[in-house]
Amino acid sequence: MDHTFRSAALGGFNRQDVLTYLEKISREAAEQQQQVLQQLEEIREENARQRDQLTEQQEQLGALENENQELRVSLEKVQAELRSSQNQNMQLAARAAGAEQELTRVRAEADGLRPDAEAYRTVKDRTAGVELEAHRRAETIQAQAKEQAQELHRQVEQWMAQVTREYESLRTQIESTVSQAAAQLEQAGRHMGEACARLGEQDVALKTLAQEYTETDASRVAAPMPLEE
């Protein structure tokens, strides 16, 4: 104790000095306790706010994961459509090959026709026209199919790249916020521990002082004395 008590006439401490000191430290302890309780309430409110914020961010992360799953399903659908387009291109190529085979057959039949010059020339011209038309149609179909497939593939790659960038950015923000919230919760826990330790020290000090006062008053003071001026 850093307080000096006046001595009583019959030994021990002056009763009024002890009472005044007890009232003083009780008042200080009550003020400190009120401050600690206020700090604890602020910490509880901050913890509640952090928990709400963390819950909201976890919900956002869940929604983002659901959206990512939907995007995967959409991507699989687009890939299926792309495979279907490739199958169509293969079918068109097969049709073009069939047209070339038909052209070969027609040419063979034309070679077996009567060796009439005019008729042969007519058949030959017609065969050349059919061959050229079939070849042009096959090239046109293949070019269109290839262009459509390339455009679809480019769009899918752009879309996937954009979705990946947005997902990575949001995931980084959420991880940073969750880390900050955890650090603040840990700091609040330390403050609460320090406050409880301070309250325990104050309680021990008050009990010790009260015990000393009781023992001194019972053993050395026989009857209440008038206060000294």
pLDDT one digit per residue (tens) for the chain, 229 residues = 455 545 554 455 567 777 888 888 888 888 999 999 999 999 999 999 999 999 999 999 999 989 989 998 988 988 899 889 888 888 888 888 888 888 887 777 767 666 666 666 776 677 778 778 888 888 898 888 888 888 888 887 888 888 788 878 878 887 788 777 777 777 777 777 777 777 777 777 777 777 776 766 544 444 445 545 4
Contact between 163 and 71 (Cβ < 8 Å)? yes
Looking at residue 50, what is its pLDDT?
A: 93
Name residue, tokens 């409110």: 45
Query: What CA–CA distances, in Å, run from 132 to 101, 128, 183?
Result: 14, 6, 77
CATH architecture of the domain 15-205 equals Orthogonal Bundle (1.10)
Quick one: the chain helix, strand, coil %, rounded to 5? 90, 0, 10
**Claim: this prediction has a pTM higher than 0.75:** no
pLDDT computed for residue 221 by the predictor: 45
**Domain residue limits, the chain:** 15-205
Calculate the alpha carbon distances from 29 to 32, 93, 162, 211 in Å. Answer: 5, 93, 61, 17
The amino acid at residue 148 is: Q
Between CA 15 and CA 226 the distance in angstroms is 10
Name the nearest CA neighbour of 225 among 15, 20, 23: 15
CB neighbours (10 Å) of residue 121?
Answer: 10
